[in-house]
A and B are shown apart, each in its own frame.
Chain A
Amino acid sequence: DIQMTQFPSSLSASVGDSVTITCRASQAVGTYLNWYQQRPGRAPNLLIYYAFNLHSGVPSRFSGSGSGTDFTLTISSLQPEDFATYYCQQSNSRPPTFGQGTRVEVK
């Protein structure tokens, strides 16, 4: 199975800050990399698919980049509703696998 590693595991930021989360795959996944946001007590929501495509309804302050083994999720101007946990997931090989998550907390 492909292992997905995210870093940092948590970060503290303020409203308006720009934050970047990194995801690394144990082997190349092309651009079959997706990002999800999970708020406390809720199901995950798809943010980005194919490394850089925004899912319907996702604000443009979210962006993704990367290919192969290294990927990033950037939130350009953090809003109050963005304090949540973010997960990457590869869909290149079966089984699809997730990173362990990055928690974005209020500073």
Chain B
Amino acid sequence: EVQLVESGGGLVQPGGSLRLSCEASGFTFSSHWMNWVRQSPEKGLERVATIRQDGGEKSCIDSVQGRFSISRDNAKNSLYLQMNSLRVEDTAVYYCVRVSDNWAFDYWGQGALVTVSS
């Protein structure tokens, strides 16, 4: 059974940092692109960042460029999102998401709530 379990969410002040982690199991982690997707009432669902199987290619949305960094450790079956210089508008539930061979988002974690507020 495919499982994705996020951790590391919480309350942080504007300008602060958080690191989200996602532990994967039930599939060959190193064979899949992986995403972080966030969801907020204001912006809906938004793919934040993507990383290739070997970590050699990464991309993220313009609004987090230079502040967020996606990474992975295939030996630990883990995905990470380092979030710096957090803003109020980064408040959202963040999901760890697997990308299928057909480029759909086929498995999602339960989500980690990130709240940026003073």
* Count of chain B residues near A, Cβ 8 A: 19
Encoded as 1 (CB less than 8 Å from any A CB) or 0, chain B from 80 to 118 comes to: 000000000000000100001011111111110000000
Contact B44 A101 (CB under 8 A): yes
Contact of B111 among A43, A94, A98, A101 (CB under 8 A): A43
Number of contacts between A and B (CB, 8 Å)? 54
Residue A63 at the chain B interface, CB threshold 8 Å: no
Asked if residues A96 and B110 are in contact (CB atoms below 8 Å), the reply is no
If over half of B's interface residues share one DSSP class (helix, strand or loop), that class is named, otherwise mixed; here it is: strand
> Is A96's CB under 8 angstroms from B102's CB?
no
Per DSSP, chain A at the interface is loop
Q: Count residues on chain A whose CB falls below 8 Å from chain B CBs.
A: 22
Give min CB distance, A9 to chain B, whole Å.
Answer: 11
A43 CB contacts on chain B under 8 angstroms? 95, 108-111
By the criterion CB–CB under 8 Å, are A95 and B45 in contact?
Answer: no
B44 contacts A95, CB within 8 Å? no
Q: Which of A42, A46, A53, A101 contacts B105 (CB 8 A)?
A: A46
Q: A94 to B47: give the CA distance in the assembly, Å.
A: 10
Partner of B44, one of A34, A50, A55, A100: A100
Identify A49's interface contact among B46, B61, B106, B108, CB under 8 A: B106
Assembly CA distance A87 to B102 (angstroms): 17
Give chain B's interface residues, CB within 8 Å of chain A: 44-47, 50, 59, 61, 95, 100, 102-111
